[in-house]
Structure 1
Amino acid sequence: MHADQLTITPDMVRDLVRDQFPAWRDFRVREVASQGTVNAIFRIGDDLAARFPLKPDGVEATRRSMEREAQAASELAGRTRFPTPEPVAIGEPGRGYPLPWSVQTWIPGDIATPTDLADSIPFAHDLAEFIRGVRAIDTRGRRFSGDGRGGDLKPHDPWIETCLEKCEGFLDVPRLRQMWAELRLLPRASEDVMTHGDLIPGNVLVSRGRLVGVLDVGGLGPADPALDLVCAWHLLDAAARLQLREDLACDDLQWQRGKAWAFQQAIGAAWYYRESNLAMSQMGQVTLSRLMADGLSARA
């Protein structure tokens, strides 16, 4: 998926576990098929999951990032009725792998798709309940950091223009360009609340038609309340989407800004992963189709 992507194999993981965590030396190690774009995932036994960053970075920078992720995971754990990974350990470089790596609790469930539960009202209720639970966490005076999604929309203009250029030939770029031209003007009016920050299908676990867990919680932090609304277009069709909106009592501005964040995320996924991660690319394309079908009316 990335030109400089690191290689990590099950044999390397087994050796790293035996070297650094001998209590787990006899646990079975299995690679996990994943839509993820940041980490390779391996199960250790039945109850643990190891995450190995795919892109090279400095050792200390990677360790600091993992420590922040662990803090975020601890802060979210138990705050909703939906299980989320909890931090267990941070491993060190070794056996040919150049970076720290992390171990979390394994959360059972099936990865959601953009369409399987798209018309499910109970699933929409579950997503809204999770978002409410995250929003209820005290920000403790923290504010959005200014990096990535969750603050102002206009600073994303250069990225959006790059994405639009890359989408020529397989998406309706003139229409998408006009949509962004309107979305980018939406003002920021709400105070920061705690958000998950990445409610895409690959981070949502389901079973028997219901939400049973949420992954990749390291991005937990204060941001625009509209940020977690991206799941409305990533995962739901119109009727279920309306139910989620009603459950969260979103006003028109917050709802439209939710569209803007979903657009920003989907337009990049649609082209960047078109050849390397088909599930991510298809998610982006499905989301953009839903956004275009909704249009920009206040109640859409």
Structure 2
Amino acid sequence: MAAFVLALHRVEPAGGPLKPPGTRGSALRHADEAVRRVLPRLAEHDDGFDVTAAEAAWDVCLAAPVWDRDPVWIHGDLQPGNLITDRGRLAAVIDFGALGLGDPAPDVAPALWTFTGAARETYLRSRRPPSPSAGRGPRGCAGHGSPPARPGRSVIADDDTFQRGPPERL
């Protein structure tokens, strides 16, 4: 997964479409109003969702440095349903509908959406963020329409084994 993401980020960006404001890969401040409107509604699911903690995490994301380098190609939707595996290894990535040029932070999101334990650490270690802004990507994307923000729809991978489980807390 990390090799795929790093290779994608290295593709020449000339002529590619910039991610529009409010989409993954653009500045998070454009999504602030929408996220703050949705977070309280998540508490209605009676699953223990901590709105205060989520708002605090979102504030940290907004306070992080913005991407200050040239935009790179990003997939923007590397959730488990878009990853095809064969014998525990990534075989293909599908659904390039969110593809575009922007901040690479959203492509760090598999560390939160897909992997746990050693697999998460391996992914993060193998693709260290190239900018301080990249470290806020998983949490920022999680608060902006990601699988962890949708109760009952989180699919996590524990090393080689995929299992359906409850959404992770922010």
Structure-1-length-normalised TM-score: 0.47
Q: Identity of paired residues, percent?
A: 25
1:150 corresponds to which of 18, 21, 25: 25
In structure 2, do the counterparts of structure 1 residues 222 and 185 end up closer, same or farther at CA, with 3 Å as the change threshold? same
Deviates more, 1:139-148 or 1:158-167: 139-148
After superposition, give the CA deviation of every residue in 1:157-216 in whole Å (9 maximum; x if it has no partner): 121112212111331111111111221111212321001111011101112111011111
| Unaligned ranges ≥5, structure 2 | 157-164
Would the aligned equivalents of 1:186 and 1:257 in 2 still touch at CA under 8 Å? no
Indicate the residue corresponding to 1:130 in structure 2: 4
After superposition, give the CA deviation of every residue in 1:100-155 in whole Å (9 maximum; x if it has no partner): xxxxxxxxxxxxxxxxxxxxxxxxxxx10110121121111546232412111111
Higher relative contact order at CA 8 Å, sep ≥6: structure 1 or structure 2?
Answer: 2
1:162 corresponds to which of 4, 20, 37: 37
1:256 is aligned to 2:136? yes
In structure 2, do the counterparts of structure 1 residues 175 and 156 end up closer, same or farther at CA, with 3 Å as the change threshold? same
What is the identity, as a one-letter code, of the residue corresponding to 1:242? E
1:203 is aligned to 2:77? no
Would the aligned equivalents of 2:143 and 2:149 in 1 still touch at CA under 8 Å? no
Would the aligned equivalents of 1:154 and 1:185 in 2 still touch at CA under 8 Å? no
**Aligned with 1:206: secondary structure?**
strand
Indicate the residue corresponding to 1:184 in structure 2: 62
1:102-121 pair list within 5 angstroms: none
**Aligned with 1:190: secondary structure?**
coil
1:282 is aligned to 2:160? no
Q: Distance in 1 between matches of 2:28 and 2:113?
A: 19
Q: Distance in 2 between matches of 1:287 and 1:144?
A: 31
Q: Distance in 2 between matches of 1:200 and 1:265?
A: 11
1:18-167 pair list within 5 angstroms: 127-142=1-16, 144-147=18-21, 148-167=23-42
Indicate the residue corresponding to 2:159 in structure 1: none
What is the identity, as a one-letter code, of the residue corresponding to 1:197? G
1:172 corresponds to which of 50, 56, 63: 50
In structure 2, do the counterparts of structure 1 residues 150 and 253 end up closer, same or farther at CA, with 3 Å as the change threshold? closer
Shift of 1:252: 4.3
**Aligned with 1:244: secondary structure?**
helix
Looking at CA atoms only, which structure, 1 or 2, has the larger radius of gyration? 1
In structure 2, do the counterparts of structure 1 residues 266 and 236 end up closer, same or farther at CA, with 3 Å as the change threshold? same
Would the aligned equivalents of 2:64 and 2:132 in 1 still touch at CA under 8 Å? no
Q: Distance in 2 between matches of 1:177 and 1:252?
A: 20
| Unaligned ranges ≥5, structure 1 | 1-126, 293-300
Q: Distance in 2 between matches of 1:218 and 1:256?
A: 22
Q: Distance in 1 between matches of 2:5 and 2:154?
A: 24
